[in-house]
Amino acid sequence: MSAVAQRGRAWTAWTYLTWLSFRRLWWTWHTFAAVLLLALMALVVLGGSIWRLHERGEWGWTAIGFSRTVLIGLYLGFLLPLLSLAFASQSLGGEWEDRTLIWILTRPLPRPLIYVAKFLAAVPWTFGLTLGGWFLLGVLGGMNALWSAAQLWPAAALGTLTYLCLFQLLGAAFRRSTIIGVAYAFVVETLVGNMPGMVKRISVNFYAKCVLYDLAAWVGLDQPSGTHRSGVVPDRAFFFLPVDGWTATTVLLAAAAVLFLIGLVVFSQREYRDLT
């Protein structure tokens, strides 16, 4: 067989694997749990909009109140890693747990290409869920909240990319990657990520919040408004110790690249056992 024909067969096999992986991620119990969490958060936001209509005669949240309470306090600090985990952990970890990884490894494809295919298959679902949820909450929060979500979405996108690379790496390295990912989300992102001082800088959500604070300052949300005593700025900045937006963006992109490459190497060299 000629080299051109071999490359053609490899390309066909790779595109089929990518498409098949994309379809397999459509609905799992991980997805159900993530959608349920997002639905509960949506009810909280909707309840806040209804309460404001009842108490003040105005529908929806203020831009500053929505950004501080929902986007920073609840979404970046808690929900985003769990939503990212829903698809990222299933990309490879789901194949391992379902004992279908052996079928993938016997395909006539180099392992690095398999890893890339699984990653690309998870990208639309992961970003669709995280950014879709971000804007859904903005819609339920009213026009001011939607405007705020539209201005600050890059913080969620950068966090999602880093989480995706991290959780796919866990899926390549550990069989029970979902359990490890959930533990990471609660211990590192929720607990460590909200501790005072420098220790929080090992968490993704710290840098995502720094990006958001920088964007908020750019669009004027760092100024007091209405009944809020402060704008979208870190509470007790001398404890939070933020970095500037460009530094945070660089760290998140660099971390995503490094985590992706480590996952590629781990998947290429690891000897997987007990796959049947």
Q: What are phi and psi of 275, to 5 degrees?
A: -100, 0
Query: Which tokens go with 254?
Result: 């660099």
Cβ-count burial of 100 within 10 angstroms (0-12 exposed, 13-18 middle, 19+ buried)?
middle
DSSP-derived secondary structure letter, 57: S
133 in Cβ contact with 37 (< 8 Å): no
CA distance 149 to 139: 9
Q: What is the pLDDT along the chain (276 residues), one digit of tens a residue?
A: 555 555 667 788 888 888 988 888 887 777 888 889 999 999 999 999 998 888 877 888 999 999 999 999 899 988 999 999 888 888 777 777 777 777 777 777 888 999 999 999 999 999 999 999 999 999 999 999 999 999 999 999 999 999 999 999 998 888 778 888 888 888 888 777 667 667 788 889 999 999 999 999 999 887 765 444 578 888 776 677 888 999 999 999 999 999 999 999 999 888 776 655
pTM (2 decimals)?
0.90
Cβ-count burial of 26 within 10 angstroms (0-12 exposed, 13-18 middle, 19+ buried)?
exposed
Residue by residue, DSSP assigns 184-224 as HIIIIIIIGGGSSSGGGGGSHHHHHHHHHHHHHHHTTTTS-
What residues does each domain of the chain span?
A: 27-269
pLDDT digits (tens, 9 = 90+) for 146-156: 999 999 999 99
CA atoms within 13 A on the CB side of 18: 15
